[in-house]
A and B are shown apart, each in its own frame.
Chain A
Amino acid sequence: MILEAETLVVGCGNILFQDDGFGPRVAQELSKYELPPDIRVIDAGTGAPHLIFTLLDETCKKLIILDCISWGAAPGTLRKFSVDELPKGKFVDAHNWTLSEPLHGLKDKIDIVVIGCQPARVSEPDIVMELTPEVEQAIPGAIEMVMEELGIDYGTVRQAEEPIRRSAQGGA
């Protein structure tokens, strides 16, 4: 994993399980913007705990995590969480590792912001590709919150002509 950017914006969740796809969906939308080169946006799917949060480069200073989190609010509500607000979780197996446990291990080394969206429905184990309307409508607000965290004026950021992926491909 090439994670040498100073700031990583990480969309977590599975696009196949309705509102669980919130994080990847926002990451997808963010890839349409021309962001500074030290920022990398990643659709981490369900692999975040073991594929990203255990493999960060030392250059990484800030993590912005997008995920659906249920805290009893109205569906589609957005809220910033600190890592301390998240339950610690416990490693049982590599597949079912919770998002929050490795974040608790990282929180004193890296600035971590979690942007949560209250889901209306997570369809797992049934597959539903579309977000519910409430969560769909929350996406622009989530992007605005990410831009604010990045210190970018949402009104001035340019949209790219095609999705941008800041990769390690050396200009491929």
Chain B
Amino acid sequence: MSQVVVSPTTRHEGRSKLVLEVDDNGIVTQGNYLSTTPVRGFEKFITGKAMEFAPVASSRFCGICPITHATASSESIERALGIMPPKDGLVLRQLCNLGNRLHSHPLHELLILPDFVKDPNAAMAATVRIQKMRKIGQGIVDITGGEAIHAPNIRIGGMQKNISEAAKRKIIQMLNDYEPLMKEQVDFMLKTLKGNTEVPKKLGVHDRELMATDVNYGNSDVFETEYFYRFSEITPKSYYPGDIGLEACTSIPLIGGRTVEGGPRARLVKYKGFSQKDCGDFDVRGAMAINIARAMEIPLAHARARELIQQLDTTKPTLTKPPESGGDGKTLGVAANEAPRGVNVHTAKVKDGKITYYNCLVATTWNIPTVGKACEGQHYKWAEYVVRAYDPCVSCATHMIVLKEGKVVKEAMI
């Protein structure tokens, strides 16, 4: 029995580490996956600030998926204030979020290409397709959000302004341009993934609950009614064995006392009947099924984006202006948006227009402990394949709490 440490793990976002206990044959008997990106204290920093600052700051957690942070942040405050954006504001916001997915999922495929595509010509052709797809996805965010990276159009109460008819036509054209690239890339990825004969068929199999609120954008009501009442959060020190948790920079969120998995597989299993028949020889409960589900999600996101752009009335308002001094300081606004890699949950309380409480449980925070469990049962050389299947965005996930006798006593940097 010995320990294998992989640090840092690569080809994902942020810094993380694998600490694996392995037997004499190199089989992982205990898997621990932990974030080593420093805690940055965003939640503490946001508290006390004007509510409009929350989506601005939280969308700077990371440059990879800032849109879903901005939308979840805005929605948590809207729910704390009891306001609802206009229909066309929601349509535009969802479209912006989908633009991010149409870029982010192909980006993940770029990161896993070296694991599965050995032919350099095929890898180059896929890279060119992916870059074109990413560009269109970012272009949709750019038009709808006002900027492709930190979209300033996403506001509490909806979207700051609607787009023009010309911009609407441009998005329709961009989605048309995306379609043939997507078809070729998705076919290529599915064929490549399912045809792989080297990866263990049961790679990354685990028995944890799958958590999802929607196929595309997210549904905060579903999160509140199905998950939130079963939610708890513990420190990494009380989760990881020995001293491993001392280095970990994320809290461990639990549903019903156990870790969960969010992301493409969870969404497709819950809402699209994703099952063993979709996974070839690979186990539907394992890591390869996540990669397969991610590829299958791209056409779903594309089809939904098409629906939304057709629904958008460019003459209608998109913003319900929030009250400047709104909020009772008691109502907890809970917003769950589906980031590309899982459920992104922001919660907020507002009093007189200022944030009095803020908490983020982002997609990767939910997945991190489950990734460790999923590494168990196969040779340690496959562990990084498991990590990458989850498309972890570790920088966003560095959130920390302090518990005393089972109760949260403060949030802090440790």
Contact = CB atoms under 8 A, between A and B. Distances in A.
Interface of A: 1-2, 14-16, 42-48, 50-51, 54-55, 92-96, 124-127, 165, 167-172
Interface in B357-375: none
Contacts of B39: 125
Contact of A172 (B40, B66, B131, B162): B162
Contacts of B40: 124-127
Output the residue of A46, A124, A171 with the most chain B CB within 10 A. Answer: A46
A44 B169 CA distance: 26
11 contacts: A15-B60, A16-B60, A43-B150, A45-B60, A45-B66, A48-B63, A55-B131, A125-B39, A168-B143, A169-B163, A170-B165
A16 to B, nearest CB: 5
A54 B149 contact: no
Given A44-B149, A55-B135, A126 B63 contact: no
B63 A168 contact: no
B163 to A, nearest CB: 5
Per DSSP, are chain A's interface residues mostly helix, strand or loop, or mixed? loop
Interface of B: 8, 10-15, 38-42, 45, 57, 60, 62-64, 66, 107, 111, 131, 134-135, 138-139, 142-143, 146-150, 161-167, 169-170, 393-395, 413
A93 B7 CA distance: 13
Contacts of B143: 2, 167-169
A1 B14 contact: no
Contact of B149 (A45, A95, A165): A45
Given A43-B150, A95-B64, 4 more contacts: A47-B64, A93-B13, A94-B107, A169-B167
A51 B146 contact: no
Contacts, number: 116
Contact of B57 (A16, A51, A169): A16
Output the residue of B60, B107, B394 with the most chain A CB within 10 A. Answer: B60
A55 B127 CA distance: 12
B220 to A, nearest CB: 26
A92 B148 contact: no
Contact of A1 (B57, B107, B135, B164): B135
A44 B139 CA distance: 14
B158 to A, nearest CB: 15
A2 B63 contact: no
Given A42-B147, A167-B146, A94 B131 contact: no
Nearest to B168: A170
Contact of B134 (A55, A124, A169, A170): A55
Given A46-B60, A92-B10, A94-B107, A168 B139 contact: yes
Contacts of B45: 16, 127
A126 B41 contact: yes
A45 B151 CA distance: 11
Given A44-B149, A94-B64, A96-B14, A50 B107 contact: yes
B326 to A, nearest CB: 24
B161 A94 contact: no
Contacts of A96: 14-15
Contacts of A169: 143, 163-164, 166-167
Contacts of A48: 63
